[in-house]
C-alpha cells in the first residue's frame, strides 16, 4: 500500500492481526484504553498490531508498506486479550503469515489449512508484547489541558521541556498534570513522552534518515543516549529499523 493510504474508522466482529513486512502503518484504536482513551499504535517491520473484536479503529500508511492482515474469529481470542496491542512477529509467525498469503487463492487441503491456522494462533498467543502505543485523552470526556499538552509535545518532538514547563503552557500546575496523566492515561509523563518519541522516530528511520539526525530531532543531545533509550524500548538498535535491515 502506498504512503498516505487511509482506512476510515470502522469495526468488525472478528479480531484482526495487521502485520507490516516492510514500511510503517499507524493504527488508531478509538476508546480502547482502560479509561476510554484513544491509542495510536505504530507498526514497523517485524511488529504487528492485534485489533480486538469490536474495536473501532482507523489505519494510515506512514511509509509505503507491504501490509498483510489476518482475520481471526473472536472465539479464539487469547485469554486476557481484551484490548488492542502490538506484538513482536517471530520468524515462524512471519513465515506462517506468508504461507497463508501465498495460498489464499488456492484450494488448500483442509488438514494443512488447519495446521497452519493452529500454529498461527499459538505463535500469536506466545508473542512478546511491544509497548508502541501512544494514548491520547478522549476529545469528548478528556481534560482539555491534558489533550493540549499531549498535542503540543507531539507537534514539537525536539522540545525536551519538563512536565512543569509544559504545564505552565496550558495553565496548570505540574502536580495537576502528573495526576491527569495517571488518572486519564494510566501512565507517567516520562513514560508517555518516550512512546511519543518512538512514534516520531520510527518513520524517520524507515525513510533512511541518519541516526544522528533522528536523535537530534527527537531532542537528544547525543546519539548514544538516543540509541540507549531506543534499544531499551525496542530490543534492537535504531539502525536495524532503517531500510534493508532486519529488526530482529
What does the pLDDT look like over 179-235, one tens digit per residue? 999 998 889 999 999 999 998 898 888 888 999 999 999 999 899 999 999 999 888
pLDDT value of residue 110: 82
Are residues 95 and 212 both part of a single domain? Answer: no
Whether residue 160 lies inside any domain: the answer is: yes
Are residues 160 and 54 both part of a single domain? Answer: no
Which pTM value belongs to this model?
0.80
Mean pLDDT, range 86-102, rounded to an integer: 88
Q: Is the pLDDT of residue 145 over 90?
A: yes
pLDDT higher for 118 or 207?
A: 118
By mean pLDDT, which of 103-117, 186-200, 231-245 is the weakest? 103-117
What does the pLDDT look like over 45-65, one tens digit per residue? 888 999 999 989 999 988 888
Residue that is last in its domain, among 70, 101, 133: 133
Number of domains into which the chain is organized: 2
Residue that is last in its domain, among 133, 156, 179: 133
Are residues 218 and 124 both part of a single domain? Answer: no
3-state secondary structure the chain: CCCCCEEEEECCCCEEEEEEEEEEEEEEEECCCCCCCEEEEEECCCEEEEECCCCEEEEEEEEEEEEEEEEECHHHCCCCCCCCEEEECCHHHHHHHHHHHHCCCCCCCHHHHHHHHHHHHHHHHHCCEECCEEEECCCCCCCHHHHHHHHHHHHCCCCCCCHHHHHHHCCCCHHHHHHHHHHHHCCCHHHHHHHHHHHHHHHHHHCCCCHHHHHHHCCCCCHHHHHHHHHHHHCCCHHHHCCCCCCC
Which range of residues forms the domain containing residue 35?
6-133
Instruction: Answer whether 24's CB lies under 8 Å from 47's CB.
Output: no
Residue that is last in its domain, among 133, 152, 170: 133
Q: Which CATH number covers residue 174?
A: 1.10.10.60
Amino acid at each position: 500500500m502506498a504512503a498516505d493510504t487511509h482506512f476510515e474508522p470502522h469495526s468488525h466482529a472478528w479480531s484482526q492481526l495487521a502485520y507490516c513486512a516492510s514500511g510503517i502503518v499507524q493504527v488508531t484504536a478509538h476508546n480502547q484504553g482502560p479509561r476510554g482513551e484513544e491509542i495510536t499504535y505504530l507498526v514497523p517491520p517485524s511488529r504487528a498490531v492485534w485489533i480486538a473484536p469490536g474495536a473501532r479503529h482507523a489505519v494510515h500508511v506512514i511509509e509505503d508498506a507491504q501490509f498483510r492482515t489476518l482475520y481471526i474469529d473472536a472465539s479464539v481470542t487469547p485469554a486476557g486479550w481484551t484490548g488492542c496491542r502490538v506484538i513482536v512477529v517471530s520468524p515462524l509467525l512471519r513465515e506462517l503469515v506468508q504461507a497463508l498469503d501465498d495460498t489464499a487463492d488456492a484450494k488448500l487441503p483442509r488438514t494443512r489449512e488447519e495446521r497452519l491456522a493452529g500454529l498461527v494462533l499459538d505463535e500469536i498467543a506466545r508473542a512478546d508484547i511491544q509497548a508502541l502505543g501512544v494514548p491520547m485523552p478522549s476529545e469528548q470526556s478528556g481534560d482539555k489541558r491534558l489533550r493540549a499538552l499531549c498535542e503540543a509535545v507531539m507537534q514539537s518532538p525536539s522540545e525536551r521541556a519538563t512536565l512543569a514547563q509544559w504545564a505552565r503552557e496550558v495553565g496548570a500546575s505540574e502536580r495537576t498534570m502528573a495526576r491527569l496523566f495517571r488518572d486519564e492515561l494510566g501512565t507517567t509523563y516520562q513514560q508517555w513522552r518516550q512512546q511519543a518519541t518512538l512514534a516520531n522516530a520510527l518513520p524517520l528511520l524507515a525513510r533512511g534518515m541518519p541516526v544522528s539526525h533522528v536523535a537530534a530531532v527527537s531532542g537528544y543531545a547525543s546519539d548514544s543516549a538516543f540509541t540507549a533509550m531506543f534499544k531499551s524500548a525496542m530490543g534492537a538498535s535504531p539502525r536495524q529499523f532503517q531500510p534493508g535491515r532486519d529488526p530482529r
